[in-house]
Structure 1
Amino acid sequence: MRLKPGTAWHETYARCRAAAPEAFHHDRVLNHWGGFWQRDGRPVPAFSPLDGTAIAGPPRLDRAGAGRALAGAVEEHRQWRHVPLAERKSRVAAAVESMAAHRDLLALLLVWEIGKPWKTACADVDRCLDGVRWYLGEIDRMLAGRTPLPGPVSDIASWNYPMSVLMHAMLVQALAGNAVIAKTPTDGGLCCLTLATALGVREGLPFTLVSGGGAELSPVLVAGRSVGCVSFVGGRDAGAEVATSLADLGRRHVLEQEGLNCWGVWEYGDWDTLTRQIRASFDYGKQRCTAYPRFVVQRSLFPEFLAAYLAAVGSLRFGHPLAVAAPDDPLPELDFGPLINASKAKELADQVDEAVARGGVPVYRAPVESGNFLPGQDISAYLPPVAILSPPRSSPLFHAEPFGPVDTIVLVDTEAELLAAMNASNGALVATLSCAAEETYRRLAPQVRAFKVGHNRPRSRGDREELFGGLGASWRGAFVGGELLVRAVTVGAGGSVGPGGERLPGNFPHYTLLPERDGSA
């Protein structure tokens, strides 16, 4: 095996420098604020999860630097909010097409920075661009009678979807009339987001992009008085800190947090379909907010379920996304590559070992040697698929989302036990019930504490008109999707933003939009 010619990191970074020399210097990446690319912050070392290659690290600002960046975003917001919609549409459309022209480079950066296989990386870029194109066609009706927020939108997002979540949100927020200040994720995506931001800035979009730790930047990017809305995607611990900071501010917010998404199997028999669905669920190593790491199975169906499950995981392909046997070979079609870093892989491996030591039953664990690797490469960030039957209640795998290719299986005997096991994490984004009878699904689904519940099929975050939110501890603030994404960052006629102002659909006190079940909302 060898690295695909033309894909090495030094070649990839050279392409970034050629595409946006204002943002990429030979020795570091720059922050962007105040309308200029700034050689500030303290660059820190970074390493690719693919094989440990040294890559560009984030130029971390301190709190004072973040304050200067926010002040620049506020000034841009004062001007941008008065730009006519037709002009905003023209600039966003131009930025989208510029990103499309650099689509393969953006995708290759995702491969190196966060370990996405090539096909998955391309899908992340395409989903961002296609989604914004849809908003460009719908934005006139969505903005009827609405105006931009009084201050810029602050975006803080996890590393796993830099384009289809973070950059997509930034483009739509700017389209709605807001300047945007975004923090690059701590664990990866710096160069991809910097290139996309540079292409947007060239078209006149009011983007501020900075790097730094949450402890230093959150007091500014979350609690800063001039911030109009906070959009957060990440874990529950960090999300709880953000929510605490916002508690007394009366500020618009969208806080998407993790949850243990569960797949229930009850009075079911279409095992071939379930095998295909289980295999697909390992996309990107389950490093997704809508992944399904928990299966709750009727005990009497366990033999059939296990056969279907093992057929699925036994066919999974993982490894180095850029390793090929011959120079002319296409990039491998993998289900997943590494986890985001070696520390995460070790954390999950330790949790698996601890769960087994305390009584969990390892029903599947692939050998790491079965992966697609370069000779002698660092494989410390790779974790083969694992499945644990009956994880002990003391294990984090019982109640928390692993965010990796680790499944747990819980057996139940009654419908009450099924529901209790599916609701173990006090709220989730999605869930699925595989059951043959429609009546059974309709009876059980309303009792599952997930925002979307699928019947015999997985649910996803969705795009465009599809609503998205969460229940319990998995979500706080405004729901998004389609028109609601625009409403979250704009103000209705005669409305206001603070307490007593316009009430948005979402998880706010005394106001909740019903969760989505298949066929209803």
Structure 2
Amino acid sequence: MAAMSSVNPATGEVLARFDEIADAELERRLALAAATFRSWRRVPLAERAGRMRRAAEVLEARKDALGRTMTLEMGKTLRSAVAEAEKCAWVCRFYAEHAERFLSDEVLPSSAARSYTRCLPIGPVLAVMPWNFPFWQVFRFAAPALMAGNVGVLKHASNVPQSALAIEAVFREAGFPEGCFQTLLVGSSRVQRIVEDPRIAAATLTGSEGAGSAVASAAGRVIKKTVLELGGSDAFVVMPSADLDAAVATAVTARTINNGQSCIAAKRFIVHEAISERFEQAFVKRMAALKVGDPLDAGTDVGPVVSEAELRKLSEQVDAAVKAGGRLLLGGAPSGGRGFYYPPTVIADVPPTSPSYREEIFGPVALLFRARNVDQAISIANDVPFGLGSSVWTREPAERDRFVDELEAGATFVNAMVASDPRLPFGGVKRSGYGRELAREGIREFVNLKTVVLQDAAAAAGQPGAAME
């Protein structure tokens, strides 16, 4: 079988190689997932919660080592990688605490003696996950899925095999039964086969549009549910009433978080013309002051992009934007030397005729636009195929309400940076995908919402809602 390589983006060094599992091993693991589901679904919620809390403890105890694995494998700064492990512990505890309430029976009115809905698990769920948040993307799926009584099988990005195996080890150390969560070291060419396997009940994917389309198409042919999060080109809108200093400082963080490789990173900065020059000068100054370097160094602000291929793609997108007429204000070329480094870059006034105007740009590259008024700001913000997040900076209630109602996005954060939070539903519209992760909505995506009708009073005795009459 083909080999997977773990490459350090800061040096280009190959850290480890892993062979894909053979077909026989894949079959064994899928059979194990199906068998484990039949028993795991009957485990009481309180017991599931205890193991999920133990997973949180394992993550916190090992956060430094796990963070180092993430940093070496995909280049995020060490402090952000450790914080990612801590956030994974948070989502584990969140669902351990709230799953019972989220999944509880809900009494409904009807002509029968008693009617209610019950959330029941559906089976093994395939998760196809990306490299940019190698732990968080997985745990925000796994914590609710396992608490709901499902089991998980992970096809992680092929360039983060060490992270993928470490996640499986966390669940094993936390006491989850064998087969409750499994990492499958397989390439993308085998995903369709796994999706179509009758033992897989559903699939979730975070990644590119192409990958999402392929998984959704395969699932559609066999009538299986999918949840997709396919990236974005988030707008960051700044109006004259905003606290400009706070907006600029947050804008720099929002563009360069995770070395600029985040689906919900702000990528297009749309600023009212009355303050655009002040914003531009302050923003470029702050971007230029960021330290680019070794992600293991505590003083580093921006590390490398994940791979040589991504570095080349990023360079091509910047070159195309400038060639089309964009004003290059900072950066604009790979750093050169060892590793896959691209400096913080700012380009203003990219015309709509440039592909870079509407593409998602993964890396520390910001596009600046000027807007005459609220109408034009909304028009520019919506003039992309994506609709994941959006950030709006204004202290005018009327403007705030316009943006909340009219921005085509799964989330709008007012005077704040877009971020995922276990307590809040997360997902997008348009070509950013469909479905929701996190919060109550996330745990209910992969359940059978069964309607139960008890026609006579004798059958209804002792059932949900009996004490309400």
- The alpha-carbon distance between structure 1 residues 246 and 362, as it changes in their structure 2 partners (threshold 3 A), is same
Contact 1:295 1:410 in 2 (8 A): yes
Alignment partners' CA distance in 2, 1:124 and 1:142: 25
Q: Which residue of 1 aligns with 2:104?
A: 144
Shift of 1:406: 0.9
Q: Structure 1, residues 385-440: CA drift from partner, whole Å, max 9, x if none?
A: 11111224343321011111111112232433322210122331111222341212
Q: Does the 8 A contact of 2:391 with 2:412 survive in 1?
A: yes
How far, CA to CA, are the matches of 1:264 and 1:191 in structure 2?
38
> Do the aligned partners of 1:361 and 1:389 also contact (CA within 8 Å) in 2?
yes
Deviations 1:70-106 (A, max 9, x none): 2221122122112222332233333332332222111
Alignment correspondent of 1:361: 327
1:377, CA displacement in angstroms?
A: 6.5
- What is the aligned partner in structure 1 of residue 465 from structure 2? none
TM-superposed CA distance for 1:121, in Å, is: 0.4
Partner of 2:467: none
Q: Distance in 1 between matches of 2:402 and 2:4?
A: 53
1:450 is paired with a residue of what secondary structure?
Answer: coil
Is contact 2:264-2:418 (8 Å) kept?
yes
- 1:271-321 Cα distance to aligned partner (Å, 9 max, x none): 211221122111212211110110122233321121221232122122112
With over 3 angstroms needed to count, the CA separation of the structure-2 counterparts of 1:297 and 1:377, relative to structure 1, is: closer
In the alignment, is the contact (CA less than 8 A) between 1:362 and 1:387 conserved in 2? yes
Q: Separation in 2 of the partners of 1:118 and 1:439? A: 41
Shift of 1:42: 4.0
**1:12 corresponds to which residue?**
none
SS in structure 2 of the partner of residue 479 of structure 1: coil
Structure 1 residue 214: deviation in Å? 1.5
Instruction: Work out the CA distance in 2 between the residues paired with 1:436 and 1:91.
Output: 45
In 2, the alpha carbon distance for the partners of 1:45 and 1:161 equals: 18
The answer on whether the counterparts of 2:327 and 2:347 sit within 8 Å (CA) in structure 1 is yes
Write out aligned runs for 1:456-475 (5 A): 456-463=415-422, 465-475=423-433
Specify the alignment match of 1:482 in structure 2. 439
Cα deviation, residue 243, structure 1: 1.8
Q: Which residue in 1 is equivalent to 2:72?
A: 112
Partner of 1:338: 304
Q: Report the Cα distance in structure 2 between the residues aligned to 1:334 and 1:225, rounded to whole angstroms.
A: 47
| Offset at residue 63 of structure 1 (A) | 6.2
Match of 1:293 among 261, 264, 267: 267
Q: Give the residue type in structure 2 aligned to 1:456.
A: N
Residue of structure 1 equivalent to 2:252: 279
CA distance in 2: counterparts of 1:174 and 1:81, whole angstroms: 9
Indicate if the aligned counterparts of 1:167 and 1:193 stay in contact, CA closer than 8 A. Answer: no
2:234 pairs, out of 230, 249, 261, with 261
Match of 1:442? 401
Higher mean C-alpha displacement, 207-216 vs 398-407: 207-216
Instruction: Confirm or deny that 1:252 pairs with 2:225.
Output: yes
What are the Cα deviations for residues 456-511 of structure 1, in whole angstroms up to 9, with x where unaligned? 22222222x212221111122x323222222112223437xxxxxxxxxxxxxxxx
Residue aligning to 1:347: 313
Residue 179 of structure 1 aligns with an amino acid whose one-letter code is V
Structure-1 residue corresponding to 2:213? 240
Distance verdict in 2 for CA 1:479–1:269, change over 3 Å: closer
- Which moved further from structure 2: 92-101 or 442-451? 92-101
User: How many residues are aligned here?
Assistant: 436
- Paired AA for residue 273 in structure 2: R
Structure 2 counterpart of 1:35: none
User: Could you tell me how far 1:215 is from its partner in structure 2?
Assistant: 2.1
1:352-395 deviation line (CA, Å, top 9, x unaligned)? 122212221101117866xxxxxx9613x110011111224343
Q: CA RMSD in A?
A: 2.2
Alignment equivalent of 1:402, drawn from 352, 361, 373 = 361
Counterpart of 1:283 in structure 2: which amino acid? I
Percent identical pairs in the alignment equals 24
Is 1:196 matched up with 2:154? Answer: no
Cα distance in 2, alignment partners of residues 481 and 180 from structure 1:
16
TM-superposed CA distance for 1:65, in Å, is: 5.1
Q: 1:64 to 1:244 in 2, by over 3 A?
A: farther
Higher RCO (C-alpha 8 Å, min separation 6): 2
Structure 1 444/119 Cα, relative in aligned 2: closer, same or farther at 3 Å? same
**For 2:359 and 2:334, how far apart are their aligned partners in 1?**
24
1:186 partnered with 2:145: no
| Shift of residue 191, structure 1, vs aligned partner | 1.3
Query: What is the correspondence of 1:500-519 to structure 2 with a 5 Å cutoff?
Result: none
Q: TM-score, structure 2 length as denominator? A: 0.87
Q: Which residue of 2 aligns with 1:169?
A: 141
Which residue of the partner structure matches residue 294 of structure 2? 320
Counterpart-to-counterpart distance in 2, 1:44 and 1:178: 28
Task: Determine if contact 1:129/1:168 at 8 Å carries over to the other structure.
Answer: no
Identify unmatched segments of 5+ residues in structure 2.
Answer: 106-117, 453-469
